[in-house]
Structure 1
């Protein structure tokens, strides 16, 4: 396999992991961490938007959609496809202030929850 193929595979793997995080799972994660209401750090508004992505998935027998929390990549030192380089944005609809939430604790929690449910 060439380096570019390896890079594509790593990119697909990271995307697959990150696209597991639905808005409901992010909300559950925050709630279980004591964040019962998300508020703007600047103005205190509770009117917060969290960007989402919806993908159309086509199967031989039909199609479906998948909704997940949109993520952004932060340019920093380290491996290109480390989940430490990704964040979720929480955008205040009142004043426009943007808060960032690291992906890795959310994703780690989701993957550990799935493992414990699956009995691994």
Structure 2
């Protein structure tokens, strides 16, 4: 009985470890961008993208299939409560919407792009 319990604990620990490796390897989240935005000087048209965040180097990247669309230095923040929907944090600059962050729906994570402006608005996503 003790051997079975020990084996089960080893399996649970390995599963958690390998799941962490998959997430750290850049598994992304699908995000619908409802308006054209600028990310680190690159214009990103509205549409469906995969957003990946790399904790180790502090970088967010936006992908469409296998094509890298834009990337920016970023940091991850945590909310007190789970977000109901994905939201874009943007600010206006010279008639363009500058992406400042993404609140990921269904979780407590927020990706904040490293910027120098404090005038941020929230654009809810569908």
Write 1 or 2 for the structure with the bigger share of strand. Answer: 2
Q: Of the two structures, which has the highest relative contact order with CA contacts closer than 8 Å and spacing of 6 or more?
A: 1
Write 1 or 2 for the structure with the bigger share of helix. Answer: 1
Relative to the length of structure 1, the TM-score reads: 0.31
